[in-house]
């Protein structure tokens, strides 16, 4: 199944029959990816009176209570409500769900004992190429960090000070009108930066020129078999009136 999309006066064919899911599934227990010292996902049958929500335990159907935190228990998409005093929610802010996207691969640089995705690295990935490529600055930028080990699907990030995005890179993306960042790390900011969250603030331009429609999606996983390049992106969320929701970003090949 193919469809035609238009972006900045260019038309592209999109293959909708082969979706590429870059989300990390939510599993119960400690084998799920985890960050920020949050408790692991818990899924357990609902029980009340004689009712038990487990067929294996004699119930008529399966009815699980699920306990999780979207910010550290898996792939999630967040809005400016993550850092704002105002109660902005992802369900209010994300009103479009399909975007022209670019996937890039970057090896974070060592700086002062930290691993950082720098402004120079992002500009080198997004700006080079012919005139058409330079004109096609994407709506969404997906950042895959190298090395790209499969253990990202279950990695326990808490206390490891993982790589993050330099705030100048986030600022540049906002200036280029990139509306959506997706990356395979727990956060665009350092695990513990004293609460500054500079990259979040620069990308959303909060509080003075707040970009209400912009989103950040963290803890994705892009298999190494998927080449860098342009894709059609669908960001799927649950309709949570919360700053963030577990999400399912899906890529489609463009020809």
Q: Which two tokens stand for residue 202?
A: 């620069």
Lowest-pLDDT choice from 26-35, 131-140, 225-234: 131-140
Percent of residues, the chain, with pLDDT higher than 90: 88
Pairing, β 47-48 against β 76-78: unpaired
In the chain, the number of structural domains is 1
Q: Give the structural domain span for 141.
A: 2-24+74-253
DSSP conformational letter for 158? T
- pLDDT at residue number 137: 87
Cα-flanking dihedrals φ and ψ of residue 157, to 5°?
A: -85, -20
- For the residues 149-176, what does the mean pLDDT come to? 97
Mean per-residue pLDDT, 25-49? 95
For the stretch 210-237, pLDDT in tens is: 999 999 999 999 999 999 999 999 999 9
Q: What is the mean pLDDT of the chain?
A: 95
Could you report how far apart the first and last alpha carbons of the chain are, in Å? 13
pLDDT higher than threshold 60 for residue 131: no
In a domain, 42, yes or no: no
Evaluate whether 20 touches 250 at the Cβ level (below 8 Å).
yes
Task: Please report whether residue 203 resides in a domain.
Answer: yes
**Number of Cβ within a 10 Å radius of residue 178:** 22
In this prediction the pTM is: 0.96
Residue 36 lies in a domain: no
**pLDDT for res 130:** 58
Look up residue 194 and give its two tokens: 């004293």
Helices (H) and strands (E) in the chain, counts: 5, 17
CATH code, 215: 3.50.30.50
Long-range contacts of range 7-12, CB-CB < 8 Å, 24 or more positions apart? 7/100, 7/136, 7/139, 8/135, 8/136, 10/132, 10/136, 12/230, 12/232, 12/254, 12/255
Whether residue 175 lies inside any domain: the answer is: yes
CB 202 within 8 A of CB 175: no
């Amino acid at each position: 199944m193919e469809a035609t999309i238009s972006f900045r006066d260019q038309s592209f064919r999109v293959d909708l029959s082969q979706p590429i899911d870059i989300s990390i599934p939510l599993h119960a227990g400690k084998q799920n990816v985890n960050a920020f010292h949050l408790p692991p996902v818990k899924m357990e049958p609902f029980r009340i009176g004689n009712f038990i929500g487990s067929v294996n335990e004699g119930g008529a159907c399966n009815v699980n209570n699920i306990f999780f935190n979207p910010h550290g228990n898996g792939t999630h998409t967040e809005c400016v409500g993550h850092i704002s005093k105002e109660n902005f929610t992802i369900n209010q802010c994300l009103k479009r769900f399909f975007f022209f996207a670019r996937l890039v691969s970057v090896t974070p640089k060592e700086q002062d004992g930290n691993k950082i995705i720098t402004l120079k690295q992002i500009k080198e990935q997004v700006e080079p190429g012919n005139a058409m490529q330079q004109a096609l600055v994407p709506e969404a930028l997906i950042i895959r960090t190298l090395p790209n080990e499969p253990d990202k699907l279950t990695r326990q990030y808490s206390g490891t000070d993982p790589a993050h995005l330099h705030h100048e890179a986030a600022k540049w993306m906002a200036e280029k009108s990139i509306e959506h960042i997706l990356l395979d790390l727990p956060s665009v900011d350092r695990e513990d930066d004293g609460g500054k969250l500079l990259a979040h603030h620069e990308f959303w331009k909060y509080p003075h020129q707040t970009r209400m429609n912009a989103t950040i999606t963290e803890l994705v996983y892009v298999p190494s078999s998927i080449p860098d390049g342009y894709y059609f992106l669908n960001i799927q969320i649950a309709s949570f009136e919360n700053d963030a929701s577990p999400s399912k970003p899906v890529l489609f090949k463009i020809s």
